[in-house]
Chains A and B, each alone.
Chain A
Amino acid sequence: MELIVAVGVVALVLPAIFNIFFVIIRQQIVLTAYQDMKRQGDSIAKNIKYILQNRASQITDATYLLEVCPLITTPTPTYFPRIYIKDRDDNSLSIYQDSLNSDKIASLAALPNKKYFLNTTSVQISQTSPLAFSCYRVNDFTPASVSVRYTVGKSALFKNVSLPYSFSVRLRNY
């Protein structure tokens, strides 16, 4: 009889303890996921802002020759997946979501052909809400404003969590 009671108590207490333990672990994983996404999402934003604000002088087409930002009269901005930039020293670079490694945002210098990733593989850039840029100018003589949006996501056990980012930067080296 006593053995049955002891086994009964253990059988009730142990699953309860394990259940609570796993709930806490799961919560910790979700928290870590949010912290990682916030850290990396902010880092991506900081890098893109730095490049656009402090380095970029023109937003161009893929040939790095023609300026592409329309005047603000365009009612809704058209978003494009890749931005081509001429910097103040006439160097060319582009920022895009790498098609070979689509969960990373890449910054590619044209010469020398050198690629830097702005995030690690511990977070993913969403495929459903991928990296996108749009730009406009108030008039012909004002610097372009570039809008950037992307969603950073991460899998946290049985839950996918994400943080959407969007911001706008005005070029200072126009």
Chain B
Amino acid sequence: MKKTFTLSSSTSLTVNNVEGFSLIEVIIFIAILSMFLVTAAAIITVSMHQNSLQINKVRAVHYNDQLLEWLRSEKDRDWNTVTEKATSLPGGSVYCFCTEDVSWATASIKADKSDCCPTPLSLLFKRYVALSSSVFAPSGFSPSSQIEVTIDTDWQEAGNSYSTKLHTIFTPWEE
């Protein structure tokens, strides 16, 4: 549509009045788009966080299993060494295993588990085990020594702390 405005007797201005977006339409569009994007961003953030958490859970469980298997093989190899390690551990202290190569040589004793692994395992995980030796003496049976084993693998992710735990009791195969 063309409109002609007469400004004076000698001048006239022609305006092409093509239909466009009004301000209210633009505001509504931006509002809807913003709502969609904010919702999508929230869902995506949660989804990515959950994926990452699940990956790290699988890895943490594997690290726990790996340490338990190694301790079990140590127990089979030499029960006395494991008992000695358990009894020599001060109360509340833990053995930290911060490398994938698990051995007593790479383990360190820490009084506080939060001090474990200044360089975390795979740059993320803190893995430690608490050992406590005791004597199991059910009535009617001869007493037998046992070791309570609690393995933890902790990690920090997106400002939250996560942990996987394994708890078992070792008894000697033969004494």
List B contacts of A28 (CB < 8 A).
51
Taking each of A9, A23, A167, which has the highest tally of chain B beta carbons within 10 Å of its own beta carbon? A167
Q: Using an 8 Å CB-CB cutoff, how does the interface string of A114-133 with B read, 1 for contact, 0 for none?
A: 00000000000000000000
* A166 proximal to B (CB < 8 A): yes
A147 to B102, CA, bound (A): 14
Residues in chain A near residue B47, CB distance under 8 A: 24
A167 touches B69 (CB 8 A): yes
Which A residues, 128 to 145, have Cβ-Cβ distances below 8 Å to chain B?
138, 145
Nearest chain B CB to A46's CB is how many angstroms away? 11
Can you name the residue of chain A whose Cβ is closest to the Cβ of B30? Answer: A9
Say if the beta carbon of B21 comes within 8 Å of chain A. Answer: yes
* Residues from chain A with Cβ under 8 Å of B70 in the complex: 166-168
Verify B55–A30 contact, CB threshold 8 A. yes
**Complex Cα spacing A41 to B51, Å:** 21
Chain B contact residues: over half helix, strand or loop, or mixed?
helix
Q: Contacts A145-B73, A168-B73 known; A2 to B20 CB distance under 8 Å? A: yes
A31 & B76 in contact (Cβ 8 Å cutoff): no
Given A38-B62, A145-B77, A163-B62, A31 contacting B55 (CB threshold 8 A): yes
Task: Please encode chain A, from 28 to 70, with 1 for each CB lying within 8 Å of some chain B CB and 0 for all others.
Answer: 1011001100100110000000000000000000000000000
Q: CA separation between A9 and B29, bound complex, in Å?
A: 12
Scan A7-29; emit 1 where CB is below 8 A from any B CB, else 0: 00100010001001001100110
Q: Is the CB of B100 within 8 A of A168?
A: no
Q: By DSSP majority rule, is chain A's interface helix, strand, loop, or mixed?
A: helix
Chain A-chain B contacts (Cβ-Cβ < 8 Å), number: 58
Please measure, in the bound complex, the distance between the C-alpha atom of A138 and the C-alpha atom of B78, giving whole angstroms.
9
Q: Which of A20, A31, A165, A168 contacts B51 (CB 8 A)?
A: A31
Q: Within 8 Å CB of B169, what residues of A? A: none
> In A149-172, which residues have CB < 8 Å from any B CB?
163-168, 170
Interface residues of B in 68-87 (CB under 8 A from A): 69-70, 72-73, 76-77
Select the residue from B37, B61, B69 with max chain A CB neighbours within 10 A. B69
Q: For residue A164, which residues in chain B have a CB less than 8 angstroms away from its CB?
A: 66, 100
User: Do residues B58 and A27 form an inter-chain contact, with CB atoms below 8 A?
Assistant: no
> Which residues from B are CB-within-8-Å of A72?
77
B69 to A166, Cβ gap below 8 A?
Answer: yes
CA gap between A36 and B21 in the complex, in Å:
53
Is B166 at the interface (CB under 8 A from chain A)? no
A30–B59 Cα gap in the complex (Å)?
Answer: 12
Chain B residues with CB below 8 A from A168, complex form: 69-70, 72-73, 76-77
Q: Mark B146-172, 1 if CB is under 8 A from A, else 0.
A: 000000000000000000000000000
B111 sits at the interface (CB 8 A): no
CA distance A41 to B47 in the complex (A): 27
Closest to B59 in A: A34
- A residues near B39, Cβ cutoff 8 Å: none
